[in-house]
Amino acid sequence: MGSITTIAPCGINCTLCHAFQDVKKKCPGCRSKIGVIRKSCLNCAISNCDKKTNYCFECMEYPCKQLKYLDKQYQLRYKMSILENLDYIRQKGEEAFIVSQNEKYTCPDCGKLRTVHYDYCIYCKQEKKK
Ligand SMILES: [Zn+2]
């Protein structure tokens, strides 16, 4: 069992997701048992996978076609490899993964976590709107 619930089975760090950072309609994260999980997350092929492993790398079919597709999308659109994330978690553990992610994605201006989905910081942008 994973101790850190904000890392999705596919290796995406939910705290870096724009849905998780959304103040108005905050998504609780893919593994959450409470709250309303974003539809796009619920409908994703990995969420609907019936293998039910804690992380995708525990699966016999790892890396499967769906996961490789998702990885390609993330590399192209958001410059992040979820396969690399999964390898990192497998080799160094969840705690170390979170530490390295925090280092990489902390906003230099406000100190909060940036999202991988946008090339700007959601928090700083909201500040500017006030
Ligand atoms: Zn910021």
- Asked whether 87 and 10 are in contact (CB, 8 A), the reply is no
Residue 75 domain-assigned? yes
Specify if 3 maps to a domain.
no
Number of domains comprising the chain: 1
In this structure, is residue 31 part of a structural domain? yes
Is residue 1, in this structure, part of any structural domain at all?
no
Provide the 8-state DSSP code for 15. G
Residue pair 27/20 in contact by the 8 Å Cβ criterion:
yes
CA distance 34 to 36: 7
> Domain residues for 70?
14-129
Q: Which residues pair with 106 in a beta bridge?
A: 113
Q: How far is the CA of 111 from the centre of ligand 1 (A)?
A: 6
How far, in Å, from the CA of 110 to the mean position of ligand 1?
A: 4
| pLDDT at position 128 | 75
Domain contains 8: no
Is residue 9 assigned to a domain? no
Distance, CA 15 to ligand 1 centroid (Å)? 14
What pLDDT is recorded for position 3?
67
At 23 the pLDDT is 84
CA Rg value for the chain:
15
- Residue 41: the pLDDT is 87
- Residue 26 Cα, ligand 1 centroid: separation in angstroms? 18
Q: What is the pLDDT of residues 52-61, one digit of tens each?
A: 899 999 999 9
State in Å: Cα 51 to ligand 1 middle: 38
Whose tokens are 């804690």? That residue is 54
Specify if 95 maps to a domain: yes
Which residues of the chain have a pLDDT value below 70? 1-3, 130
